[in-house]
Every structure is written in structure tokens, then in C-alpha cells.
Chains A and B, each alone.
Chain A
Amino acid sequence: MNAFVVLWKKEWTEAARTSKLIWLPAVFVLLGITQPLLAKFMPDILKSAGNLPAGTVIEIPPAQPGEVLGQTLSQFGSLGVLAICLAFMGMLSGERRSGTAAWILVKPVSSIAYMAAKWAVSTMVTLGSFALGYAAAWYETAVLIGVPDTGHALAAGSAYAGWLALILIAVLAAGAWFNAPAAAAFIPFGAATLLQLAGSFLPERLSALPSGLAAEAVSSLQSQQWPAVSAAALTAIIAGGCLIALAAWGVRSRPLRA
């Protein structure tokens, strides 16, 4: 337990000194405020873009607040997830490669505590950034378009947070097996993108995929219903458990470079 606390503090200090605590929230806030702006001004942008024959009539129905929040979550799903993978790709693989992982694990520290500290801090940083970005989107939508339903927004946000937490476990597991940070970033990113794509092609049949958490969050905001995520949440938890086991196995079995 002591080791976990010490490592937890170390991870926080590292996140602060490598300015992850600044740029990751900034990415999410930026993504969060652009979508409502785009939704609000899209008709004007199209109009002023020109190149349209005179007399063209463009009719875009005014965006609904829930719809805009849903679009924001989709943005988080592509660019946001990429930012997360890039931010945390080196947290295990980088330390393994440089030998700092050996520096820690040669001391009486369990590999579980080592990884738990990493996961806890990366998840807190990510979910904090996500919450900031989402709150910014909510505020911007409320100002420009209309006040979204808070209950639905919170429910969808929670489901989405679960999806992000799962992606972080995947980044950690990939880092436990691959020494190249690029592999640690792009394997989870690719897997998340594929899952989201698969879910969007067959939304009815594949809603039980872990990516159903994200898909349901988006569609529940658009349809103003409560997200139905029990099946997706269950598979996400199972997948998370498997990935944690995989990560622990990787850290234990792969020789550490001293």
C-alpha cells in the first residue's frame, strides 16, 4: 500500500512536470467548445463559403442541444482518444525501455502496485480532462443553442467515461507487452476505432461490444432517452479484467532491461 501511494505521488508529479496536466485538458476543452460553435454557425459558414449558384436554398434544421452534445462525444471518440493514447503511450513502455521500470521493480514493489498507480493517475487525468471538456461543451451549448437536459447529459457522460477508462487499461496492457511507445499508442487506438466502426455498422446486433458504451452515450443524447448500456458495461468490465490480467502477465514475464 505504501508503495502504491509513493508511486501515485510520483505519477502525479511526472504528469505535472511533463505538462500533461495542461495539454490534455486543453485538447478536450478545445474539442468541447468547437462542436457547439460549428453547430450554431454552420448555416452562416456554408452561406459565406460561396461557390453556390444564386438562389440556392439551404435549409438546415436548427440543432437540438442534445444532438450537439452527442456530436461532441463523437469528436472525443476520435481525436480525444488519439490524444489519450499519445499522452499515455510511454507510461509503461517508455519506462521499460529506458530502464526506469527496472529501477522501481528492483525495489520491494509489487508489479500490481506499480501498474495500479499508473492506471489510477492516467484515469484521473483523463476523466478530469474529459469532464472539463464536456462541461465546456455543455456550457457553450446552453449559451448558443439551448440548455441540454442535465440528467441525460450526466448519464451519457458517465457511460462515456467508462469507455475512456477501458481504453486506458488497453494502453497499459499494450505498454506491458511492447517496448515501442508507438505500438502502445496505436494498438489500443486502432482497436478502439475498429470497435466503434463495427458498432456503428450494426448498431442493433453489436450494441453489446464495449464500444456500445460510447455509441449508446451519443445516441441517447440525440434521442433524449436514458442510455441502455447494461450489456456493453458488462462486456467492458470483462474486457477490462482480461486486459488487466494481460498487463500483469506482460510486466511479470517480459525481462526488464536494467
Chain B
Amino acid sequence: MNLLEVNRLTRSFGSANAVKDISFEIGDRRVVALLGPNGAGKTTTLSMLAGLLEPTSGDIVFPGLQGDRRRWIGFLPQIPVFFGWMTGRETMVTAGRLCGLSAKEAESRSAELLETVGLRDAANRKVSGYSGGMKQRLGLAQAVVHRPKLLILDEPVSALDPVGRRDVLDMLRTWKKDMTILLSTHILHDAEEVCDDLILLNQGRLVAQGTLEELQRSSGTASILVKTAESEKSGAWLQSLAAWPGVLKAEGGGYERRLRTNKIEEVREMLLRSAAEQRIPIVQFEAGFPTLEQWFLEAVRS
């Protein structure tokens, strides 16, 4: 059962289309990454889902959920802002109360979540004195105070130091048992680490979507990287690889080649055997599907 269905969503600002005709579905309890370079339309898409921005056309449906969709959503903007005159605890309680929790429940949820995100000691300090990392944690905590079904995070880790990043990713991993998480990022490594599904946007259009595995397989060609020590013989050997059966494309020059193939098993075996027979001094050998980064660059450029 899908938690969220988006149909032909479009948003234009003046004559420019920030998001054009994108459709996707998000299943219950999945962690989904919205990937794309800067200006791809990630923030615009998330703002529309969160209800901050009206779509120019298209619809957003939560099958099986009735009423105001904001009740089911928790949202963390790219740069979380709060009322500086409130304390962290007051911010949490106000957020909880606005989301419909009772006063007592809001208090207990606040205490629990402030503990989870490591702000217990700062809970009674004014938010204006918080550091950027602390605000990010507070933003995460207030986004889940009402136990949303969908947690929307706009670049939750980009601005954090490595320790903060690790903490946030761990938190997401805990929360994914209870809710669906949709996050935007341009840090591919993080997406690879916590996400089940990927949606790639470029220039306001949806370029590809699916699980990481599906996308790698559909991007099709596996690749083999061979690097040899410099010698005339190995140079000639590398030159000859492009013409081998099963090799679709050979990229690179000098003493390094990246071979694209749809028969990775056979090509790998042939390559290793041939190198051994001809005593080619291989210094690096790598075979597999393209990394998310290669796939990303390729999808964005094409």
C-alpha cells in the first residue's frame, strides 16, 4: 500500500518551471531519497508535499488518510528557524500542542525527544543561543513530536559536521521502523547508506526512480576498471580490449581503462586469464556495477 502518490506535479514561478510534471509513489515505511544537483527542484517538491507551497497543477494524494494532510506530516526545512525567545522545551511543547497533542502528552513527548536528540541539558536555554547543530537536532525532534506518518527532511545532514551527520543518520535508522521518511540530499553516500528508494530529479524533471539495485541494474552496464603498470606491452594490451566480444565501450586513456559490459562474468574471466598469460602487470582491478555517484553523474548529464 502506498502512503503517498504524486501525480503530474508542476510548479512554476513566473515563466520558469521549478518542477515539471513529476509523478512518483512512496510506499509505507520506506526511506526515500530525493536526489539531484542544486536547483533540481528538490526543495520546491518538498515544500509542496508539506503544504507550504501550492502546486501550479497536479495532485498529491495520501490514500487511506483523511483530512488535513499536515496532521500526518513532520517537516524539517533546510535551515530550521525557531522563535529565539522560546526555550528548547517550549519550542517542543508548542510544536506538539499545535499538532494536536494534549498538554500532558506534549510535555512527555518533548522530554523524551529532547533526550533522544541530546538536548536535555540545553532544554531550558533560549533557542537564540543554540548552535547550528543544536538547531538542526531541535528541528528533527519537533518534526516527529506528533508521531507523523511521513517525515519530510530537506537536506537534513548537509550542514552538519561528521559527528552530527552520524547522529542524524542513526536517528533516522531508528525512526524508520515507525514512519516513512522522505529526505532530499546531494550527499550520495548518505542516500546510499539509509535509503531504500531513490528519486532523481534534474532541472525540475524526474529522471529516474527505484531501489538502488533496480537503478543500477537498469542503468544497465556493469563496469570493469583495469589499471596497469606503464609499459609498451600493457599499453597495446589495453588498446586491444575495446574490440573484445562483450565489451560495449572502453573509456579512459593512458594505462587505465573502464570497460562497460553486459556480460560481466565472462569478460572478467577472459580479462584475468589473458593478463596472466601475457604477463600484464595489473596494478588495479575493479569489477561491479557503477557506484551511485557514477550513476548520478551519468543520469544528470544525459
Contact = CB atoms under 8 A, between A and B. Distances in A.
Interface of B: 43, 47, 50-54, 68, 70-71, 73, 75, 77-83, 85-86, 90, 94-95, 97-100, 154
A23 interface: no
B100 A17 contact: no
Q: Which of B68, B77, B80 has the most CB of A within 10 A?
A: B77
A102 to B, nearest CB: 6
A208 interface: no
Given A2-B100, A6-B98, A258-B43, A106 B81 contact: no
A18 to B, nearest CB: 7
Sort chain A's interface into a size bin: 20 to 34
A108 B75 CA distance: 12
A255 B11 CA distance: 12
Contacts of A100: 81-83
B52 A105 contact: yes
A108 B68 contact: yes
Given A6-B94, A10-B94, A256-B52, A107 B85 contact: no
A23 B53 CA distance: 37
Contacts of A258: 43, 47, 50, 52, 75, 77-78, 154
A147 to B, nearest CB: 43
Given A7-B98, A255-B53, A258-B43, A106 B70 contact: yes
A107 B95 contact: yes
B52 A106 contact: yes
Given A7-B98, A108-B70, A14 B77 contact: no
Residues of A contacting B: mostly: helix
Contacts of B95: 107
A103 B82 contact: yes
A100 B75 CA distance: 13
Given A2-B100, A17-B85, A106-B70, A99 B52 contact: no
A256 B98 CA distance: 18
Contacts of B53: 255-256
Contacts of A106: 50-52, 70, 73, 75
Contacts of A18: 85
Contacts of A107: 70, 95, 98-99
A121 to B, nearest CB: 14
Give 10 closest A-B pairs by Cβ, nearest first.
A258-B77, A99-B81, A107-B98, A6-B97, A108-B70, A108-B71, A17-B85, A106-B75, A108-B68, A256-B52
A82 interface: no
A6 B86 CA distance: 14
B81 A109 contact: no
A108 B98 contact: yes
B129 to A, nearest CB: 14
7 contacts: A18-B85, A100-B83, A103-B80, A108-B70, A256-B53, A258-B75, A258-B77
Nearest to A7: B98
A104 B75 CA distance: 11
Interface string A1-38: 01100110010011001100000000000000000000
A255 B85 CA distance: 25
Contact of A14 (B52, B82, B83): B83
Nearest to A104: B98
A223 interface: no
A255 B52 contact: yes
